[in-house]
């Protein structure tokens, strides 16, 4: 597979893919921990670094290959190959960053991303121009597609797991090696021969030499390296938590008990939020943490209308708007007062005192919660009887 390739450039291409994967998925993993206003910038940045990493790896690999003398690159297919890569990466990350990341959603996004990576490769290969003929072995093309989809699926799973540190680096290494493996698998199936008087790739349109492409690739390598180094800078919210508690133990939540006496719970396990908004242990919590543009805020549980699952986190609706909460749906269910809150669906918890309307819909039901901006929440069929009982709609028998 690597016969005739420059070993140093091959190694560089793998490193570039790993750094691009680490930076891109590291940024993408922060999407779910930010308010909606920060999603677009993070999504665009993640897509950019992933696309640049994949595309740069491809062309470093091309520079490492023993290509015919005089081969040049057509600018239009080369630019289109990058745009394809950036587009499918952005769409794939968007699909798995909104709503509930079901297996079907993640698999579909992985297929799209994998096919996009393969399309980028072969469109870029189509941009290789010169007096020669190029063919591709069908079996190696199929194998490269399979590897690309597998790499995409693994990368998206790393994004959804919100991994950091060593775990994210291991995932990035696996992703970079897989993407590079796809490239070199496809290159192993490529065969270049004489044109027999009729060139397979005509030199039409604007072209770039290997030297010019090397300059562009070098610049992009610096961009990826800079992005990687910036991604290693600690989260400001973690530094803020450390400043607030110089001991380094993080915040210890306070539980209100009878008589107004405050009692501290045991230290909490660390999370990506650096200790802010940690779920306490013990009695039902009086307040819920929600993410804002300027930090973590807290709202009274009495103001909460509903809690909706959003991957590993939740969205809390206070009757006016919906905001991100760092707790999972299971943590919220365990920490909210069961006398006031009820899980009516695998992805929804409602505040029973705020139910203003209930009606049957299909096999389940729908609840409408009061407030300045009323909203509706689905009820699963298995929970209808319990909801009716909690609302006093069950007819009592003598």
Burial 330-343 (b: 16+ CB within 10 A, else e): ebbbebbeeebbbb
pLDDT, residue 31, reads 60
Residue 144, Cα to own-chain centre: how many angstroms? 23
SS (H, E, C) 85-103: HHHHHHHHHHHHHCCCCCH
pLDDT tens-digit readout, 145-159: 898 888 888 877 766
Band (pLDDT 50/70/90 cuts) for residue 236 is: very low
pLDDT, residue 164, reads 58
pLDDT, residue 129, reads 76
Global confidence as pTM: 0.55
Whether 54 has a pLDDT exceeding 50, the answer reads yes
CA angle 149, 155, 161 (to 5 degrees): 135
Band (pLDDT 50/70/90 cuts) for residue 247 is: very low
Whether 172 has a pLDDT exceeding 90, the answer reads no
pLDDT, residue 242, reads 41
Lowest-confidence pick of 49-53, 56-60, 238-242, 382-386: 238-242
Backbone phi and psi for residue 313, each to the nearest 5 degrees, phi listed first: -125, -170
pLDDT, residue 195, reads 66
pLDDT, residue 317, reads 92
Whether 352 has a pLDDT exceeding 90, the answer reads yes
pLDDT tens-digit readout, 285-334: 788 899 877 778 898 988 999 999 988 889 999 988 888 898 888 888 88
- CA-based radius of gyration for the chain: 27
C-beta separation of 160 from 106 below 8 A: yes
Query: Which residue bears the tokens 């960053």?
Result: 97
Look at 170 and 287; give whichever has higher pLDDT. Answer: 287
Lowest-confidence pick of 67-76, 275-284, 333-342: 275-284
* Domains recognised in the chain with CATH numbers: 7-237 (no CATH), 286-398 (2.40.50.1020)
Whether 375 has a pLDDT exceeding 60, the answer reads yes
Whether 263 has a pLDDT exceeding 50, the answer reads no
pLDDT, residue 29, reads 65
């Amino acid at each position: 597979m690597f016969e005739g390739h420059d070993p140093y450039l091959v190694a560089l291409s793998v490193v570039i893919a790993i750094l691009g994967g680490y930076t891109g998925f590291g940024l993408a993993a922060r999407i779910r921990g930010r308010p909606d206003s920060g999603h677009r910038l993070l999504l665009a940045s993640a897509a950019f670094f992933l696309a640049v990493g994949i595309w740069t790896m491809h062309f470093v690999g091309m520079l490492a290959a023993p290509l015919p003398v005089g081969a040049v690159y057509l600018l239009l297919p080369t630019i289109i190959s990058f745009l394809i890569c950036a587009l499918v990466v952005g769409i794939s990350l968007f699909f798995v960053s909104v709503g509930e990341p079901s297996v079907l959603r993640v698999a579909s996004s992985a297929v799209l991303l994998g096919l996009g990576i393969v399309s980028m490769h072969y469109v870029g290969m189509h941009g290789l121009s010169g007096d020669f003929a190029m063919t591709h072995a069908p079996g190696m093309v199929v194998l490269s597609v399979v590897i690309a989809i597998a790499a995409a699926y693994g990368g998206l799973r790393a994004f959804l797991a919100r991994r950091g540190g060593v775990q994210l680096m291991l995932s990035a290494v696996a992703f970079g090696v897989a993407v590079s493996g796809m490239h070199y698998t496809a290159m192993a199936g490529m065969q270049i021969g004489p044109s027999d008087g009729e060139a397979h790739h005509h030199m039409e349109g604007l072209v770039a030499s290997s030297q010019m492409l090397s300059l562009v690739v070098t610049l992009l390598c610096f961009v990826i390296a800079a992005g990687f180094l910036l991604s290693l800078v600690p989260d400001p919210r973690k530094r803020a938590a450390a400043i607030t508690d110089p001991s380094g133990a993080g915040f210890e939540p306070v539980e209100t008990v009878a008589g107004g006496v405050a009692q501290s719970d045991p230290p909490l396990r660390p999370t990506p939020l650096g200790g802010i908004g940690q779920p306490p242990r013990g009695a039902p919590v009086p307040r819920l943490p929600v993410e804002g543009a300027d930090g973590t805020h807290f709202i009274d549980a009495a103001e909460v209308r509903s809690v909706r699952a959003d991957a590993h986190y939740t969205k809390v609706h206070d009757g006016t708007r919906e905001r991100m909460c760092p707790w999972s749906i299971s943590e919220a269910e365990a920490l909210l007062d069961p006398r006031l809150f009820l899980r009516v669906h695998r992805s929804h918890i409602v505040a029973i005192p705020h139910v203003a309307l209930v009606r049957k819909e299909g096999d389940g039901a729908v609840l409408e919660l009061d407030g300045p901006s009323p909203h509706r929440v689905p009820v699963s069929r298995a929970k209808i009887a319990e909801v009716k009982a909690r609302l006093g709609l069950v007819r009592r028998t003598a």
